[in-house]
């Protein structure tokens, strides 16, 4: 355990130095919150509704943070380590590459958790945002959404020999989902054709689930989202593991 904690500490230092994950996971969502909050305020989403803009924006930004960690920071690190054969060197130690990969996942999960916590604290202080649903359910929904992002990122690292294809898939999927899933821009503003495309994106389901649970919905109201996110997690993890079994790490 001490060994793993130390590896996580080193991976955390590397994460901070790599700037991308650190900035887009912790600082950028906060900037979005303040920027959009100052432009659009925190009005009711519809006349008579007690739900306000920020009640929907913060769960959306939270999914954005999950995407940064699961679809960008973790898979880009893993793809680089795979391409440069850094894992090969760790395979020639008593701990092996699994230890390093697990530490990279842990650190990125913690990054996402910290990013979400900062967002909610800022939302509470600046816009009096409240979690209407159960905290436990919110945590479970967050964990499932996060797992699905990480499993997708893991699958992308397994595709292709080098890191180029993995990078392309990560950037493409992240930015496409960032703008079309409703994480940053409410999907109700999109034309119907774009909404249809959004319906094909995994992040859309994570945003819907998070927004619903935080607004006080029960899990029963989000069976479709749970099924899609759970199914995608299983499929992407299994497909990634299958591709890695055939890979030559040496």
Partner 1 sequence: MAQAIVEVEHLNLSYKNVRAVQEVSFMLERGEALAVIGPNGSGKTSTIECVEGLRKPDSGSVRVFGKDPWRRRGEIYRQTGVQLQETEYPAKIRVEELCRLFEHFYERPADWQSLLRQMDLEDKRKRPAGKLSGGEKQRLSVVLALMGRPKLIILDELTTGLDPEVRQNMWTMLRAIREHGVAVLLVSHYMDEVEALADKLLYLDEGRQRFFGSQPAFRQWAKSRLSPDVWQEGGTLEQLYLQLVPKTERITMEGIL
Q: For partner 1, which residue of 52, 88, 124, 132 counts as binding (CB under 8 A)?
A: 88
Gap between the Cα atoms of 218 and 46, Å rounded:
21
Q: Which residues contact 237 (CB under 8 A, 6 or more apart)?
A: 151, 154, 155
Tell whether residue 231 is a contact of partner 1 (CB under 8 A).
no
Tell whether residue 6 is a contact of partner 1 (CB under 8 A).
yes
Minimum distance between the CB of residue 152 and partner 1, rounded to whole angstroms? 23
One character per residue 7-36, x = contact with partner 1 (rule: CB under 8 A): x--x--xx--xx------------------
What is the dihedral sign for C-alpha 138, 142, 144, 145? positive
Q: What CA–CA distances, in Å, run from 20 to 76, 88, 172, 245?
A: 10, 25, 16, 30
Q: For partner 1, which residue of 23, 35, 41, 89 counts as binding (CB under 8 A)?
A: 89
Q: For partner 1, which residue of 1, 2, 188, 189 counts as binding (CB under 8 A)?
A: 2
Q: For partner 1, which residue of 41, 96, 139, 231 counts as binding (CB under 8 A)?
A: 96
Q: Which of residues 43-82 bind partner 1 (CB under 8 A)?
A: 80-81
Q: For partner 1, which residue of 1, 92, 188, 200 counts as binding (CB under 8 A)?
A: 92
Residue number with CB closer to partner 1 (91 or 217): 91
Number of Cβ atoms within 10 Å of the Cβ of 237 = 17
Under DSSP, is residue 52 helix (H, G, I), strand (E, B) or coil?
A: strand
Number of Cβ atoms within 10 Å of the Cβ of 35 = 10
Q: Which residues contact 134 (CB under 8 A, 6 or more apart)?
A: 213
Q: Which positions lie near partner 1, rule CB under 8 A? A: 2-3, 6-7, 10, 13-14, 17-18, 80-81, 84-86, 88-89, 91-96, 249-250
């Amino acid at each position: 355990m001490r060994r793993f904690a130390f590896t996580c500490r080193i991976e955390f230092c590397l994460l901070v130095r790599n700037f991308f994950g650190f900035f887009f996971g912790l600082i950028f969502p906060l900037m979005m919150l303040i920027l959009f909050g100052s432009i659009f305020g925190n009005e009711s989403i519809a006349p008579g509704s007690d739900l306000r803009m920020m009640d929907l924006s913060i769960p959306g930004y939270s999914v954005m943070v999950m995407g940064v960690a699961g679809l960008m920071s973790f898979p880009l690190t893993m793809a680089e380590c795979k391409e440069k054969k850094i894992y090969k060197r760790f395979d020639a130690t008593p701990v092996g590459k699994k230890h390093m990969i697990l530490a990279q996942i842990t650190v990125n999960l913690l990054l996402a958790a910290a990013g979400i916590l900062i967002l909610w604290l800022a939302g509470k202080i600046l816009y009096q945002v409240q979690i209407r649903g159960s905290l436990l359910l919110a945590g479970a929904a967050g964990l499932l959404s996060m797992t699905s992002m990480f499993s997708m990122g893991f699958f992308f690292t397994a595709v292709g020999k080098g890191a180029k294809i993995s990078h392309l898939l990560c950037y493409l999927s992240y930015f496409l989902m960032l703008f079309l899933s409703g994480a940053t821009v409410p999907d109700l503003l999109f034309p119907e054709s774009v909404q249809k495309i959004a319906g094909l994106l995994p992040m859309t389901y994570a945003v819907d689930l998070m927004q619903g649970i935080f607004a006080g919905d029960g899990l029963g109201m989000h069976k479709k989202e749970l099924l899609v996110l759970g199914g995608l997690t299983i499929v992407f993890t299994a497909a990634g593991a299958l591709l890695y079994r055939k890979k030559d790490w040496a």
